[in-house]
Amino acid sequence: MGEGNFYITTPIFYVNDSPHIGHAYTTILADVLSRYHRLFGEETHFLTGTDEHGLKVQNAAQKRGVTPQEHCDQFVKRFQELWTRLGISNDDFIRTTEMRHKEVVTKVLQDLKDRDLIYQSEYEGWYCVPCERYFMEKDLVDGCCPDCHRPVQRLVEKNYFFRMSRYQQQLIDYINEHPDFIQPANRRTEILGFLRQPLGDLCISRAKSRLTWGIELPFDHDYVTYVWVDALVNYISAIGYLRDDAEFRKWWPVNYHLIGKDILTTHAVYWTTMLFALGLPQPKSIFAHGWWLIDDSKMSKSVGNVVSPMDMADKYGIDALRYYLMAQMTLGQDANFSELSFCLRFNADLANNLGNLLSRVVTMLHKNCGGRIPAAQPLTADENDLTAACRSAAAEMRAGVLNMQLDRGLASIMAALNAANRYFDTMKPWALAKEGRTQELERVLRNTGEALRLCAELLTPVMPSKMAQLRTLLGASDAPLCLAGTETEWFGLQDGAAVGQIETPLFPRIDLSPELKAQLNQMNQAAKAKK
């Protein structure tokens, strides 16, 4: 991989599903990481897309009286439009029904077949039609599918298999030698545990008698490709594998395959063994995040407890939603999603800590400094805590990005904003104005402005549009974003720059609805009772 290049992927989403917060989370996370890495000066490639083959799409299309391709063409828009709305800066969007993808899947299968890594055999066992998966007797739960709990069919049929078992030891060794390969550490342990059992070969074909909506096997026209094998290849088909070698070498191996923990095995076992078979380097990291829960159960369509990202964004704003999702989840763990916690965090972090301070500074700059940024003055001991908190926020945000601890980085930015509020309240610029101590007043306003600018810079990948507004308000829209090092220059505002007017606050405080107030009371009482 070219040094300084950063390639990141999301899973490709089932085109049939309507996107919910869980899907939006992975994509926003990938977006935020891409934006930080771009600011670090790395050339970045961010890929997302849709998984369009399989029985569910075939059935849904049939029900609607359209062809599967028409169905996909219509439904893919929901994802594409949502990503545009949410400010997602992906460099590419791959659909598995595109020719550029199908060609690569076909070539990969033929290559593996030519090298006897795919063979034909009689399959005898159990098949779950809705999940399109084969199971061994021992995997069934009460005779039903272990995933969807529906009845399975007994099957005896010819199928094609990838010699996955051949790579079991190689995979175990690789995981042991590369501690960052599967992250976080508990997921790595989970996969090593899974690999303690003998690994079987992977059935990669599905009979056309049941499923036609897939990529036909190049060596047997009666079969299509198992949808997971088809889908995983997107990570290399999109960047030019077997099509544009220079492009492919530029990005592969990927820095992060971001996934949810429910699709760890397919990535950490199926995909990695396929890569061994293809003679390709392994991903630098497969990173599994936790789930968004509602009242402690997974947010999912089948449970019927999904929250629509569009609804949240419409109600509270896109940047606020992005911030909440990044700050609320510790990467790798599950997190609870609730409107109440959203509103509380919004009010504390964005409306009070950030927005309110900005309004106070901007108002005073207009009142006392002719709406211009006062000239920079040498720093004094009064600013020690403030500059230290900001310096540490810059260092910790960078570390948070590199170590996948975004919530910690964001917390340190909030700590810096706390320090800025403290500085402002201690220095009492309104009293300095009254007493005519202009030089001190200007110093305080300038330095509080600098802290706001710096925090806005650090927060830009999370809240690109609001932070651009903030920078414009302080006349700093052209200031270069400089996250290249751990030290960020203190004076980034321009002496004499014109300060904008705040028509409406950047983050207007949310008044809790009676329902949310009741929830809050209940929560406070429960907390008191615990004490």
Residue 391 corresponds to which amino acid? R
* Residues with Cβ within 8 Å of residue 64, at least 6 apart in sequence: 71
Tokens of 254: 């990927």
Q: What is the smallest separation between the CB atom of 294 and ligand MSP, expressed in angstroms?
A: 8
Would you report the helix, strand and coil content of the chain in percent, each value rounded to 5?
Answer: 50, 15, 35
CA distance 424 to 430: 10
CA distance 139 to 134: 10
Q: What is the smallest separation between the CB atom of 365 and ligand MSP, expressed in angstroms?
A: 42
Q: Measured from the CB atom, is 52 or 383 closer to ligand MSP?
A: 52
Q: What is the smallest separation between the CB atom of 231 and ligand MSP, expressed in angstroms?
A: 4
Q: 118-128 and 153-162: which strand pairing?
A: antiparallel
Q: Measured from the CB atom, is 139 or 334 closer to ligand MSP?
A: 334
* 228 neighbors 206 (Cβ within 8 angstroms): no
Strands laid side by side in the 153-162 sheet: 133-135, 118-128, 153-162, 202-203
Q: Which segments of 272-427 are extended strands (E)?
A: 286-289, 292-294, 297-298, 335-336
CA distance 299 to 292: 6
Residue 456 corresponds to which amino acid? A
Q: Measured from the CB atom, is 82 or 364 closer to ligand MSP?
A: 82
Q: What is the smallest separation between the CB atom of 348 and ligand MSP, expressed in angstroms?
A: 24
Binding-site ranges for ligand MSP (CB under 6 A):
11-14, 17, 22-23, 25-26, 51, 231-232, 234, 259-260, 262-263, 291-292, 298-300
* 176 neighbors 182 (Cβ within 8 angstroms): no
Q: What is the smallest separation between the CB atom of 182 and ligand MSP, expressed in angstroms?
A: 15
CB atoms inside a 10 Å sphere around CB 35: 20
Q: Which residues pair with 118 in a beta bridge?
A: 162
Q: Measured from the CB atom, is 91 or 262 closer to ligand MSP?
A: 262
Q: Measured from the CB atom, is 35 or 267 closer to ligand MSP?
A: 267
Q: Measured from the CB atom, is 87 or 332 closer to ligand MSP?
A: 332
DSSP state of 498: B
Q: What is the smallest separation between the CB atom of 230 and ligand MSP, expressed in angstroms?
A: 9
Ranked by CB distance to ligand MSP, the top (closest) residue is: 260
Q: What is the smallest separation between the CB atom of 145 and ligand MSP, expressed in angstroms?
A: 16
Q: What is the smallest separation between the CB atom of 440 and ligand MSP, expressed in angstroms?
A: 50
Q: Three-class SS of residue 333?
A: coil
Q: Measured from the CB atom, is 77 or 517 closer to ligand MSP?
A: 77
* Residues with Cβ within 8 Å of residue 475, at least 6 apart in sequence: 373, 493, 494, 497, 498, 499, 500
Q: What is the smallest separation between the CB atom of 430 and ligand MSP, expressed in angstroms?
A: 46
Tokens of 498: 């014109």
Q: Roughly how many angstroms between the first and final C-alpha of the chain, as a whole number? A: 54
